[in-house]
Amino acid sequence: MRNPGWIVVVLALPVAHSFADTPVSVDAQGLVSFQAIDSDHNGYVSRVEARSVVVVENAFDSADANNDGLLDSGEYTSVRSVRKAK
């Protein structure tokens, strides 16, 4: 077996798509559409995804009605109510 004396290593690092990379429109309350904030498209907004929108991050615990650490589309809609109540 012949050893060429050098090794080539190729690393493919996935680059996470950040909310900051894509301009999004927000409404008067600072909210974006559920589809826009659900960056991994799993049907939920995680606490990490919520961090990309301050209004959602601040209302996350109050909007998470079932306390599972995720907001479904109904809970995300309730962020508006939580925001108005504060």
- The span from the CA of 86 to the CA of 81, in Å, is 9
Has residue 79 been placed in a domain? yes
Assigned token pair, 52 = 């990309």
The pLDDT of residue 15: 43
Mean pLDDT by 10 residues, the chain (86 residues): 55 47 66 90 96 90 96 92 66
Has residue 10 been placed in a domain? no
Has residue 8 been placed in a domain? no
Has residue 40 been placed in a domain? yes
Instruction: Please tell me the total count of domains within the chain.
Output: 1
Has residue 19 been placed in a domain? no
Has residue 14 been placed in a domain? no
CATH at residue 56: 1.10.238.10
Has residue 47 been placed in a domain? yes
The pLDDT of residue 51: 93
Contact 37, 76 (CB under 8 A): yes
The pLDDT of residue 45: 96
Range of the domain at 39: 27-85
